[in-house]
Amino acid sequence: MKKKIAILGSTGSIGKTTFDIIKKNKKDFEIILLTTNKNTNKILQQAKLLKVKNILISSQPHYLKIKKKLKNSKIKVHNNLDNLQNIVKRKIDYTMCAISGLSGLKPTIDAIKFSKNIAIANKESIICGWQFIDKALRKNKTNFIPIDSEHFSIWTLLKNQNKNNIKRIYLTASGGPFLNKKNSSIENIKPKYALKHPNWKMGKKISIDSATLMNKIFEVIEAKKIFDLDITKIKIIIHPRSYMHAIVHFNNGLVKFLAHDTNMAIPIMNSLYMNYKSFIYNNDKLNFEALNGLNFIKPDVKKFPVIKLLNRIKNKYSYFETILISINDFLVDKYLNGEINYFSLNINLMKLIKIPYFTRYYKLKPKNIIDIKIMVKKVNTYLNKIKLN
């Protein structure tokens, strides 16, 4: 029988990769629901191609336009992302959560209720709302598969392992497009260069976070939450080839590495076929050239000032994660719009995270996802009022 699938954020980088895998393997999968914010052309193309019955368009004007256009079509057009359970009424096999940002949190928790397996790429939701995601996973007995490549690798390496046997986990970082550039040459560098990731093709926001290494700080928090580890056990190491995705050093002296090509289709395809049947990703030979070129470097704090944030991450859950994500989102947006330069992006982030207006919340924690939303608003209201350096 075909697996029933939903893709939240099907028009984004992860969403499109997931869709394309399904398109090539139509005999194994049936898509029940696709969602987008505004990309109506793409979602319509996807829905027609695989005869998807439900599409959801979050942006109200875009929804209204398509709703009118598809008045007599078999495709049902929905608008409310906070009401997924009214669209998917029976349990489905798998949902891919690939909406970017915290808008993905509530839909992820809802999808856990109607999915046997939930694949989560949306790291912001894991970082800020893991407590609520984890609770929903346990309550609904839903299988969770992390999709971020490093976490998919760690998760694979830790199967059948006792957590107490872990000595250290190393998350590999490519170092982004500026690894070998002089600091003085990147202070005013334009976003189009920061978006040129040497190894991965990703959405805009995550590409900027990869250039500053902020993505890796987020991934440390993500790993801490998913694998319930003490923060001191998780380290970052630069590996420019991005062939190795995670290294786990065990107390018994063994070290496990996981390598694969820099293509998100690999973790996604593995998650789709999990516990199902064997499949062939491609027939390429093992990349010995990449293996011979393994090269690991300690990250330089001067190049990547955000590394200092590692000292601020606590084991205890608080508003810190939500505030960090919100400040970074705000600044990345300003940088992408040309309102601040690359230097300011880093400097302001390091400065703002320490101001008393925010630090007073680092001893408090959100009680529910509404508290998280309120905090995001609070941070944005504050940041909109101040003058950035």
Helix-helix angle 214-227:149-157, to 10 degrees: 30
172 binds ligand NDP (CB under 6 A): no
Tell me how far, at minimum, the Cβ of 267 lies from ligand NDP, in Å.
Answer: 9
- Among 95, 103, 172, 199, interactor with ligand NDP by CB under 6 A: 103
Query: Which range touches ligand NDP (CB under 6 A), out of 6-14, 87-95, 183-191, 302-310?
Result: 6-14
Tell me how far, at minimum, the Cβ of 149 lies from Mg ion, in Å.
Answer: 5
CA dist., res. 217 & res. 374, Å (int):
23
- Among 93, 148, 321, 329, interactor with ligand NDP by CB under 6 A: 148
Site for ligand NDP in 260-279 (CB under 6 A): 264
148 binds Mg ion (CB under 5 A): yes
CA dist., res. 295 & res. 239, Å (int):
6
- Among 18, 37, 172, 212, interactor with ligand NDP by CB under 6 A: 37
Q: Which is nearer to ligand NDP, 198 or 203 (CB)?
A: 203
> What tokens does 370 get?
């509404």
Tell me how far, at minimum, the Cβ of 204 lies from ligand NDP, in Å.
Answer: 6
166 binds ligand NDP (CB under 6 A): no
DSSP-assigned beta bridge partners for residue 54: 33, 76
Closest-CA residue to 10 (of 24, 22, 2): 22
Query: How many residues make contact with ligand NDP (CB under 6 A)?
Result: 28
Task: Please report the DSSP string for 229-260 in residue order.
Answer: --GGGEEEEE-TT--EEEEEEETTS-EEEEE-
CA dist., res. 20 & res. 23, Å (int):
5
Out of ligand NDP, Mg ion, none, what residue 37 binds, judged by CB under 5 to 8 A for its kind, is: ligand NDP
Q: Which is nearer to ligand NDP, 34 or 179 (CB)?
A: 34
CA dist., res. 346 & res. 305, Å (int):
7
Tell me how far, at minimum, the Cβ of 118 lies from Mg ion, in Å.
Answer: 18
198 binds ligand NDP (CB under 6 A): no
Q: For the chain, where are the E strands, in sequence order?
A: 3-8, 29-36, 54-57, 76-78, 92-97, 115-120, 143-146, 166-173, 234-238, 244-250, 255-259
The contacts of residue 204 (CB under 8 Å, 6+ apart) are 195, 336
14 binds ligand NDP (CB under 6 A): yes
Site for Mg ion in 219-248 (CB under 5 A): none
226 binds ligand NDP (CB under 6 A): no
- 3-state class (DSSP) for residue 357: helix
CA dist., res. 331 & res. 322, Å (int):
14
- Among 203, 233, 294, 383, interactor with ligand NDP by CB under 6 A: 203
Q: Which is nearer to ligand NDP, 248 or 264 (CB)?
A: 264
Out of Mg ion, ligand NDP, none, what residue 202 binds, judged by CB under 5 to 8 A for its kind, is: ligand NDP
Q: Taking a C-beta distance cutoff of 8 angstroms, is the pair 357, 380 a contact?
A: no
Binding site for ligand NDP (CB under 6 A): 9-15, 36-39, 58, 81, 98-101, 103, 121-124, 148, 200, 202-203, 206, 264
